[in-house]
Amino acid sequence: MLSAQRNSGGHIRVYAGLVAPYDWHVTAGVDLDDAAAVRDHLLTVFDGWHDSLLDLIRESDGGFVNRPLHVLPAGHTWDHVPGVTLLGDAAHLMPPAGIGANLAMLDGADLAEAVVVHGGIDEAVRAYENRMLPRAAAGAQACADLIAGMSGDMVVGANSARRHLNERIRSAQPTG
């Protein structure tokens, strides 16, 4: 995928999203400090795309930064440890699809509520994990599905993607 973000000072930051190994540039024989070599490689990767999109790569005037995305697998869990738990990215690291920070805030609110409502810290942690883990699994799967769709031939608009993710998370929420 190619995405562009308007920044201050009349600059546009362009991101090229690739499904590739961590060391793709080594395998391709590309030195990331050689902007021309990276540009040539990306133009090969995106061969066949419309010229107006390829111009985002061709006309770039800055260096390139490799920013691999790391994720935990959807449905990731851990053995309960009395009085200890994880929140946010530590509990459910996901691709950047607009829900990670929101889930982290929900985690904090749910854990705080569990500490207030339940008699002991271990009971509170268990209650929090019982609520958070299914929500995190649904969110991670929704993100994985979205990224898989974006790396294929499917085009997903931001609003429909957001609705898709929100629906998946809501369906995993306990009722009542």
Measured CA to CA, the distance from residue 97 to residue 73 in angstroms comes to: 15
Structural domain contains residue 164: yes
Which domain does 51 fall in, by range? 2-58
Overall domain count for the chain: 2
- Decide if 67 is inside a domain: no
Contact 84, 75 (CB under 8 A): no
Residue 83 covered by a domain? no
E strand or H helix that includes residue 123: helix 121-150
Look at residue 81 and tell me if it is in a domain. no
Q: pTM score, two decimals?
A: 0.65
Q: Which residues contact 140 (CB under 8 A, 6 or more apart)?
A: 71, 72, 73, 74, 75, 76, 92, 94
Residues for the chain: how many in total? Answer: 176
Same domain, 35 and 103: no
Residue 155 belongs to a domain: yes
In tens digits, the chain (176 residues) has pLDDT values of: 888 889 899 888 888 888 788 889 999 999 999 999 999 999 999 888 888 888 999 998 878 888 888 888 888 999 999 989 999 989 999 887 778 888 999 999 999 999 999 989 999 999 999 999 999 999 888 888 877 776 554 444 545 555 665 676 667 766 65
Pairing assessment for the beta strands 12-16 and 2-6 based on DSSP bridges = antiparallel
Asked if residues 16 and 42 have their Cβ atoms less than 8 Å apart, the reply is yes
